[in-house]
Amino acid sequence: MPSDGYNDGRAHITVATFLHKRVFCTKALVVNWHEPREKKALEHMAHGHVLWLDAMTHERERISIINIHQATARRLDLQRRVNTHIQAEMNKSEGRRRIMGGDLNAATSRTGYSNSTKSHLEKVDNQFQESIQRTGGSLIQSEAHTRKDLIGGASLDDIKSATLDHIITWNFPNHDTAEMPAPKSTVHWFGACANDHALISCTIDEPLLSFQDPWARGPGG
């Protein structure tokens, strides 16, 4: 992606997914989440902004992993179009375990945004929540905001920040109990000061998505 091209339309963004070979079998399948004839309506979202993989664990558990960089909040219509296509693809295999993660460009919390944008952003955020509810997903809450507008404000008090990066699961045990607390996403700020999005991480179904390190030493050394 050209470093100076993001704001003038010359940037080309694509998402990448890395699967741990000790958890998943090799050769995950790439799912076509839309028909070729629908590319025009989906605009840039049909070109590298969504990567949907069907992967198999070594215990023969099939899991769909969806990596997404959703359309900007200015394009509520395009976000809705993408959500509709993703829901339609999910309906083909109900009950499948799924994990979606990425920059959804919709927030569960915002600060510092102009009142003039409040009504529109509420529509964006509500549409996001409604999409999760319609598909029966579980949103893993982040512990803090994941995006900061580091150059948009004149002072620290003017900085816009929001929780835009999310992890959503389907058909995983995410119930909040004393024995098994609901997972939460940890927010990590790495890299250059100009990075406006944080890295988020969480643990999902550790018994299923973990492996025994053969090189790990036992308690006795």
Q: What confidence category does residue 191 fall into, taking pLDDT thresholds of 50, 70 and 90?
A: confident
Q: What confidence category does residue 159 fall into, taking pLDDT thresholds of 50, 70 and 90?
A: confident
Q: Is the pLDDT of residue 3 over 50?
A: no
Residue ranges of domains in the chain: 29-201
Q: Is the pLDDT of residue 92 over 50?
A: yes
CA–CA gap between residue 108 and residue 163 (Å, rounded): 6
pLDDT at site 194: 72
Contacts of residue 6, defined as CB under 8 A and 6 or more positions apart, other chains included, come to: none
Percent of the chain with pLDDT over 90: 70
Q: Is the pLDDT of residue 137 over 60?
A: yes
Do the beta carbons of residue 168 and residue 137 sit within 8 Å?
Answer: yes
pLDDT at site 98: 97
Q: What confidence category does residue 5 fall into, taking pLDDT thresholds of 50, 70 and 90?
A: very low
Do the beta carbons of residue 67 and residue 90 sit within 8 Å?
Answer: no
| E strands present in 37-123 | 50-56, 62-69, 97-103, 110-111
Name which of 137, 38, 23, 117 is nearest 72 in CA terms. Answer: 117
pLDDT at site 183: 80
pLDDT at site 210: 83
Residues 97-133 have pLDDT tens digits of: 999 999 999 999 999 999 999 999 999 999 999 999 9
CATH entry, 29-201, from 3.10.105.10, 3.60.10.10, 3.40.50.2300, 3.20.20.140: 3.60.10.10
Q: What confidence category does residue 219 fall into, taking pLDDT thresholds of 50, 70 and 90?
A: low
Residues 46-57 have pLDDT tens digits of: 999 999 999 999
Question: Residue 27 to residues 53, 77, 83, 98: CA-CA distances in angstroms?
Answer: 10, 34, 26, 17
Question: The whole model's pTM is what?
Answer: 0.86
pLDDT at site 4: 42
